[in-house]
Amino acid sequence: MILRPQWRSWLVRGGYALSLFGGVLTLQLAGALLGLDALVSGFVIPGLLLALVVAVYTAFLFAQARGRDFWQSPLLPVHMIVHSLMAGAAMFILLDGAGLVSIGGQLTTLFVAAIAANLIVLAIELYITHPTADAKAVVKMILHGQYRQEFWTVVLACNALPALALYLDPTNAITQVLAAVLVLWGIYRLEKIWIEAPQRIALA
Amino acid sequence: MPSIIEKLAESIGLIPKLHHGEPLLDRLQPGSALTNYPPPEQWDNWTEYEAKAWPRREQKTYDIVPTTCFNCESACGLLAYVDKANGQVRKFEGNPYHPGSRGRNCAKGPATINQINDPDRILYPLKRDGKRGDGKWTRVSWDEALDDIAGRIRKALQEKRHNEIAYHVGRPGHEGYMDRVLQSWGIDGHNSHTNICSSGARFGYAIWHGHDRPSPDHAHARVILLISAHLESGHYFNPHAQRIIEGKMNGAKLVVMDPRLSNTASLADHWLPTYPGSEAAVLLAMAQVIIDAGLYNREYLENWVNWQQWLETEFPGEAVVFENFIEKMRAAYADYTPEFAEKESGVKAAVIREVAIEIGKAGTRFATHNWRSAGSGNLGGWAVARCLHFLNVLTGSVGTEGGTSPNDWNKFHPTFFDKPPAQKFWNELHFPKEYPLAFFEMSFLLPHFLKDKRGRMDTYFTRVFNPVWTYPDGFMWMEALSDEEAVGCHIALTPTWSETAYFADYVLPMGLASERHDLNSYETHSGTWIAFRQPVLREVARRQGKDPQFTYEVNPGEVWEEDEFWIQLSWRIDPDGSLGIKKHFESPYRPGECVTVDEYYQYIFEHTKGLPETAAKEGLSALEYMRKYGAYVVEESEYKKNEYAIDAKALEGAVTDPKTGVITKNGKAIGVEVQGKACVGFPTPSRKQEFFSPTMIDWKWPEYKIPTYLKSHIHPDEIDYEKGEFPLLPTFRLPVLIHSRSGNAKWLYEIANRNPIWMHPSDAARLGVDTGSLVRVYTEIGHFVDKVWVTEGMKPGVLACSHHLGRWRRPQDAPGNRWATATVNIQADGKGGYSMKTMRGIEPFKSTDKDSARIFWSDGGVHQNITFPVHPDPISGMHCWHQKVRLEKAHDTDQYGDIFVDTNKSMEVYRKWLAMARPAPGPDNLRRPLWMKRALRPVDEAFYF
Ligand code: SF4
């Protein structure tokens, strides 16, 4: 895949983005360890751009599976970005809890905002877009069918509840850590649903 | 072009180097469109890349040889790619020069490669050891087999036991060949599979106009009405599918009657999920709407329907004028309202009206087709084709562009180097007196007749024929074939093992599509063509300057072909010529010597209209042309052949009946005068379309003298849903399989390998079953155990189970078709009861083909047909396939695939249906109306008792 690349495929593009991103991070890590600040700061902008690609390329990769109607949603890239923001914020909160970094109140605000944005994106994805029958069938599976329980658990326990708790008590360290763990778990479960459910539709 | 990264990686040796800078082979066509083929000039030396070697560019050079597919009746063109390096066939693709298939094939065409490479195929002639059916075999030579069989036949002929020799054909398709052979022997020994397939439709068409098959011109139609799934699995699968879609692309409306949401129905503009057996009621309601709306074709009806005969016979004293005919017809069908049809069929009256009006407006561009399906499922199923054709007659779309022609108009009739006289015998084992109108042989009653001691068979050939599995009442076949008194010697001519071959005395391996000669011609569309099936390795040998004497010299093992087999057998039956057989097999080119298969075809092609001239333009003989291209268009589209003038010479000495216009010569009708012109008309007594059938009256069925609707044996009146009863449709075909012939094709079985019971969710809820539930399905003579598949694609209240699946072999049988067969244990209780249990499903096995170890499916389906009794339709002779069944949840001890049958009950049901027949003689002590077609037609005198 890497050595005989087929450039139109997002698998290849994503593969390269991941490799380059990994390279940038490695360099920055080396810079930090060796005290070469220029190396760290010099790669911030390329690192950010690559991080963006790494966060969303899966959406384009899925969209290339033309038979899977649910993945054709124009909101899928937004969905991915929002999830990456949530996951990133959650990780920093956990690192903060472990005393490895120190975060300001703004990150918690961003975290709550990202969760809120996620709920809005989910609502639009599930209630507004998706014109085809196959996509509708997936929506039905998620909201009312076999994924119903898991989906609503994720929405309530891994999105609404942490957001609400942090909104009411943004500085409590225990709340922060619990919220971060729940959100990470929620992302994992939700993406699993997003990957699995559309593939349950028989194509022939 | 490789990217920079790829080039770099190759140059530093990270990945293998695939780009050597050598010139690439031309692509046939840029992109992926299938519009181009290897040009025929290069067919003897064609180079392309080997697909399996990818990404390496491995060049392979082939001889490309045309032949035809042997899997279904369509005989589509194939091109065999024979690898020059090892002399083996690498693959099959479509032959662009074949007028029927036009370069395309269905999945079964290319799968021929699986069949010729099947590790289980029979490679040498085998003779049984031990008792028949014991599964022990010894290899014999072709000479031994030929001499032994020829001796038997010679003895029977000398002892005037002509009726003890029979040839029973499953897959036919070598035009006229066998008729010639059997008539040279002077026997009435032809039997076929027709009456489990198409007699219903054949009778329905024949009673109208003598021709017994339709040839719809789908491509030019405005409305196409299909009864059943013709698009994916109808008669002429691929050629028809192309033309139906062509018609649709040109704007034709597609109307489909089928209780099952088939692929065809899913593409229809109107899907009419009729209750099975109610189709004729719907068609007659449509007729009523068309008549009422004045959308009938007055000119056609007036000129080409025998309405005057109807009025004169049935309404004496009344005015014989066209308006009166319409009035009387209106009255005759007054009860067939769309509302009545809705009651019978479950299809809304408004839809029936709407479709009828569309048909009326399509006028002469109305293409219709019914072949098996409703016509072969129901008691009185022949009425479906009759009522369908009624719509063609009303709209004047018989034989028009975009309409429906008789098949004979688009079918080729070869000229043979020698034509033996018709036989003088009438064989009542095949044409019993109970079924004087049957189309044709009552083949599925053969075991019952044998059990009733109506006769015996000394020598019985089965050709690519598997009644033990395909026919109803398979245990009766097993009994009959095991009875050495009833069947003296059973010779199975077959490319593959089958449930029937296990009960043979000789199993003689015959070639598949690319291993044999045949001449094919089918009415796939408007136009007439011929195609040449040829043993491709023999043709390659010929191109290399070799000249094998017999095809088995080049085929795998000693696989032969029937054409040469019959010539050699006939020659040996009559070595000294005293029986008068030998002379029919003497070469037309080398007097006194035995004809070769090449000479046989050379003569036909030299006498095919226009072929020698076309061939000469390329500097080829007619035979060389057919070897090169594999097909030839004999006639482009021709319509309205009934209006052809009788040629002046034929008219000499003919007389015209002043009242009916029928023109006769030497007592035989040859045409009819219409609008002052002597036309050939149709091959009926009136030489017209017979709306009114005096034949039906003469042969004791006056109630059906005009197109009528009959209630089927599975009419809702007969079904008690409270008791778990249902009608079961066991006939529908899957697009990738073909009866029991596809069991040796791994690709096909990989796609389709089970046959669950289709059931609507409402029925499943009522019975408390779900997809995968095991159920016991009781028929009149036993039961089978199968799984349920719940689907909205089935009409509520109707069940269906597909054909082709549930193949088996017993532990003692030679391993055959292991891609498709389960191993079963059959037990007889000695009182006529038989049970079958699956011991092992389909399993992976080690063989020369690595794929055999990769078989991932274990389910091969359930053999439902063996639990069906015979249902001979008293008129058409069709086996009425649909079953009234009763469903129960499976019992605790039941296992998937279990079967039980009581053959005593088989005989009871057989007698019950036999009693419904109205036996010959008909008028003048006839066995059968003289004007009707008959397979292997004997001399006219034999028609009289
Ligand atoms: S329709 Fe399919 S099976 Fe039939 S002859 Fe053509 S390719 Fe063969």
How many C-beta atoms lie closer than 10 Å to residue B602's C-beta? 21
CA angle in degrees (0–180, nearest 5) for B257-B466-B198: 30
3-state secondary structure (DSSP) of residue B198: coil
On the question of pLDDT at B176 being above 80, the answer is: yes
- The separation between CA A156 and the C-alpha centre of its own chain, rounded to angstroms, equals 18
* Partners of residue A7 in chain B, C-beta under 8 Å: 3
Cβ of B14 within 8 Å of Cβ of A7? The answer is: no
Smallest Cβ–Cβ distance between A7 and the set B3, B14, B15 belongs to B3
Longest CA–CA separation in chain A, Å: 59
Average pLDDT, chain B: 95
Confidence of residue B229 (pLDDT cuts 50, 70, 90): confident
Q: Looking at residue B928, what DSSP letter applies?
A: S
Question: What gap in Å lies between CA B676 and CA B691, rounded to an integer?
Answer: 22
Beta pairing, strands B165-169 & B190-192: parallel
Cβ of B14 within 8 Å of Cβ of A3? The answer is: yes
Comparing alpha-carbon positions, the chain A residue that sits nearest to B5 is A3
* Partners of residue A19 in chain B, C-beta under 8 Å: none
What pLDDT does residue B32 have? 42
On the question of pLDDT at B29 being above 60, the answer is: no
* Partners of residue B266 in chain A, C-beta under 8 Å: none
- Reading the block at residue B213, the tokens are 């098959």
Hey, what long-range contacts does A74-80 have (CB within 8 A, 24 or more apart)?
A: A74/A129, A75/A121, A75/A124, A75/A125, A75/A129, A76/A125, A78/A121, A79/A118, A79/A121, A79/A122, A79/A125, A79/A194, A80/A55, A80/A56
- Reading the block at residue B678, the tokens are 């002597």
Beta pairing, strands B126-129 & B506-509: antiparallel
Task: Choose which residue among B68, B74, B91 to substitute to test ligand 1 binding: the one with the highest number of ligand atoms within 8 A of its C-beta.
Answer: B74
Cβ of A3 within 8 Å of Cβ of B2? The answer is: no
With b for 16 or more beta-carbon neighbours within 10 A and e for fewer, the B385-415 pattern comes to bbbbbbbbbbbbbbbbbbbbbbbbbbbbebe
**Residue B373: left (phi > 0), alpha (psi -120 to 50), or beta?**
left
- CA distances (Å), B895 to each of B163, B773, B835, in order? 44, 11, 12
Cβ of B9 within 8 Å of Cβ of A7? The answer is: no
Question: What gap in Å lies between CA B245 and CA B405, rounded to an integer?
Answer: 19
Size of interface A-B (CB pairs under 8 A): 16
Beta pairing, strands B782-790 & B774-778: antiparallel
With b for 16 or more beta-carbon neighbours within 10 A and e for fewer, the B319-340 pattern comes to eeeeeebbebbeebbeebbbeb
ipTM value, please give it: 0.77
Does the CB of B14 have a partner CB in chain A at under 8 Å? yes
The A-side interface with B (CB below 8 A) comprises 2-5, 7
Average pLDDT, chain A: 92
What is the 3 state secondary structure string of B445-460?
A: HHHHHHHCCCCCEEEE
Task: Choose which residue among B95, B230, B237 to substitute to test ligand 1 binding: the one with the highest number of ligand atoms within 8 A of its C-beta.
Answer: B237
* Ligand 1 atom at minimum distance from B106 CA: 2
On the question of pLDDT at B24 being above 90, the answer is: no
Comparing alpha-carbon positions, the chain B residue that sits nearest to A16 is B5
- Position B148: which residue type? D
Q: What is the pTM of this model?
A: 0.86
Q: Once rounded to an integer, what is the mean pLDDT over residues B528-538? A: 97
Task: Choose which residue among B67, B69, B95, B734 to substitute to test ligand 1 binding: the one with the highest number of ligand atoms within 8 A of its C-beta.
Answer: B69
The residue among B387, B397, B386, B329 whose CA lies nearest residue B358 is B397
Enumerate the β-bridge partners of residue B226: B256, B369
- Which residues have any ligand 1 atom within 6 Å of their CB? B 69, 71-72, 74-76, 101, 105-106, 108-109, 237-238
Cβ of A5 within 8 Å of Cβ of B14? The answer is: no
- Reading the block at residue A118, the tokens are 């996620």
- Reading the block at residue A40, the tokens are 């760290």
On the question of pLDDT at A99 being above 90, the answer is: no
In a mutagenesis test of the B interface, which of A1, A2, A4 is the best target, namely the one with the most B β-carbons within 10 Å? A4
Confidence of residue A104 (pLDDT cuts 50, 70, 90): confident
Q: Looking at residue A159, what DSSP letter applies?
A: I
The CA distance from A40 to the nearest CA of chain B, in Å, is 28
Q: Give B242 Cα–ligand 1 centroid separation in angstroms.
A: 12
Task: Determine contact, residues B187/B178, Cβ cutoff 8 Å.
Answer: no
3-state secondary structure (DSSP) of residue B259: coil
What pLDDT does residue B31 have? 47
- Reading the block at residue A36, the tokens are 């070469």
Question: What gap in Å lies between CA B575 and CA B569, rounded to an integer?
Answer: 10
Enumerate the β-bridge partners of residue B169: B192, B463
Enumerate the β-bridge partners of residue B805: none
On the question of pLDDT at B19 being above 80, the answer is: no
Nearest-10 Cα torsion for B793, B794, B796, B799: -160
What pLDDT does residue B728 have? 98
- The separation between CA B348 and the C-alpha centre of its own chain, rounded to angstroms, equals 33
| Contacts for B13 with CB less than 8 Å, ≥ 6 apart | none
Q: Give B235 Cα–ligand 1 centroid separation in angstroms.
A: 10
- Reading the block at residue B182, the tokens are 């059997």
Does the CB of B15 have a partner CB in chain A at under 8 Å? yes
Task: Determine contact, residues B626/B531, Cβ cutoff 8 Å.
Answer: no
* Partners of residue A5 in chain B, C-beta under 8 Å: 3, 5-6
What would the pLDDT profile of B794-837 be if each residue is shown by its tens digit? 999 999 999 999 999 999 999 999 999 999 999 999 999 999 99
Comparing alpha-carbon positions, the chain A residue that sits nearest to B10 is A3
- Reading the block at residue B591, the tokens are 């007097």
* Partners of residue B7 in chain A, C-beta under 8 Å: none
The CA distance from A20 to the nearest CA of chain B, in Å, is 15
Task: Determine contact, residues B926/B920, Cβ cutoff 8 Å.
Answer: yes
On the question of pLDDT at B14 being above 50, the answer is: yes
What would the pLDDT profile of B698-742 be if each residue is shown by its tens digit? 999 999 999 999 999 999 999 999 999 999 999 999 999 999 899
DSSP A17-65: HHHHHHHHHHHHHHHHHHT-HHHHHHTHHHHHHHHHHHHHHHHHHHHT-
Q: In chain B, which segments carry CATH 3.40.228.10?
A: 210-410
- Reading the block at residue B901, the tokens are 């049958």
Comparing alpha-carbon positions, the chain B residue that sits nearest to A1 is B6
* Partners of residue B771 in chain A, C-beta under 8 Å: none
Confidence of residue B28 (pLDDT cuts 50, 70, 90): low
Output phi, psi for B85, to 5 deg. Answer: -70, -40
CATH architecture assignment, domain B716-914: Beta Barrel (2.40)
Cβ of A4 within 8 Å of Cβ of B14? The answer is: no
On the question of pLDDT at B37 being above 90, the answer is: no
On the question of pLDDT at A131 being above 80, the answer is: no
Q: Give B560 Cα–ligand 1 centroid separation in angstroms.
A: 22
Instruction: Give the position of tokens 């008219």.
Output: B651
What pLDDT does residue B173 have? 73
In a mutagenesis test of the A interface, which of B5, B54, B266 is the best target, namely the one with the most A β-carbons within 10 Å? B5
The CA distance from B350 to the nearest CA of chain A, in Å, is 28
Comparing alpha-carbon positions, the chain A residue that sits nearest to B263 is A204
Comparing alpha-carbon positions, the chain B residue that sits nearest to A3 is B6
Question: What gap in Å lies between CA A108 and CA B709, rounded to an integer?
Answer: 79
* Partners of residue A2 in chain B, C-beta under 8 Å: 5
Cβ of B2 within 8 Å of Cβ of A4? The answer is: yes
With b for 16 or more beta-carbon neighbours within 10 A and e for fewer, the B447-483 pattern comes to bbbbbeeebbbbbbbbbbbbbbbbbbbbbbbbbbbee
What pLDDT does residue B429 have? 96
Percentage of chain B surpassing pLDDT 90?
91
- CA distances (Å), B491 to each of B120, B531, B568, B618, B783, in order? 19, 28, 16, 43, 31
On the question of pLDDT at B392 being above 50, the answer is: yes
On the question of pLDDT at B786 being above 80, the answer is: yes
Comparing alpha-carbon positions, the chain A residue that sits nearest to B14 is A3
Instruction: Give the position of tokens 């990456």.
Output: A84
In a mutagenesis test of the A interface, which of B3, B10, B18, B789 is the best target, namely the one with the most A β-carbons within 10 Å? B3
What would the pLDDT profile of B452-507 be if each residue is shown by its tens digit? 999 999 999 999 999 999 999 999 999 999 999 999 999 999 999 999 999 999 99
Q: In chain B, which segments carry CATH 2.40.40.20?
A: 716-914
Question: Residue whose CA is closest, atom 6 of ligand 1?
Answer: B76
* Partners of residue B5 in chain A, C-beta under 8 Å: 2-5
What pLDDT does residue B20 have? 67
The CA distance from B56 to the nearest CA of chain A, in Å, is 14
Q: Is the N-terminal amide bond of B440 cis, ω within 30° of 0?
A: yes
- Reading the block at residue B295, the tokens are 């959308």
How many C-beta atoms lie closer than 10 Å to residue B249's C-beta? 9
Query: Helix A44-63 vs helix A10-34: angle between axes, to the nearest 10 degrees?
Result: 160
- Reading the block at residue A14, the tokens are 């994503």
The lowest-confidence range among B19-23, B258-262, B736-740 is: B19-23
* Ligand 1 atom at minimum distance from B239 CA: 1
Q: Give B626 Cα–ligand 1 centroid separation in angstroms.
A: 20
The residue among B800, B801, B793 whose CA lies nearest residue B266 is B793
What would the pLDDT profile of B918-941 be if each residue is shown by its tens digit? 999 999 999 999 999 999 999 999
**3-class SS shares of chain B: helix, strand, coil, % to 5:** 35, 20, 45
Question: What gap in Å lies between CA B851 and CA B854, rounded to an integer?
Answer: 5
Does the CB of B9 have a partner CB in chain A at under 8 Å? yes
Q: Give B74 Cα–ligand 1 centroid separation in angstroms.
A: 6
For B210-410, CATH gives 3.40.228.10
- Position B465: which residue type? F
- CA distances (Å), B343 to each of B218, B225, B332, B352, B382, in order? 31, 21, 19, 12, 21
Task: Determine contact, residues B533/B519, Cβ cutoff 8 Å.
Answer: yes
Task: Determine contact, residues B497/B462, Cβ cutoff 8 Å.
Answer: no
Interface list for B 169-208 with A (CB within 8 A): none
What pLDDT does residue B33 have? 42
Question: What gap in Å lies between CA B248 and CA B254, rounded to an integer?
Answer: 7
Task: Determine contact, residues B501/B47, Cβ cutoff 8 Å.
Answer: no
CA angle in degrees (0–180, nearest 5) for B709-B443-B478: 125
How many C-beta atoms lie closer than 10 Å to residue A153's C-beta? 12
The residue among B219, B229, B294, B225 whose CA lies nearest residue B258 is B229
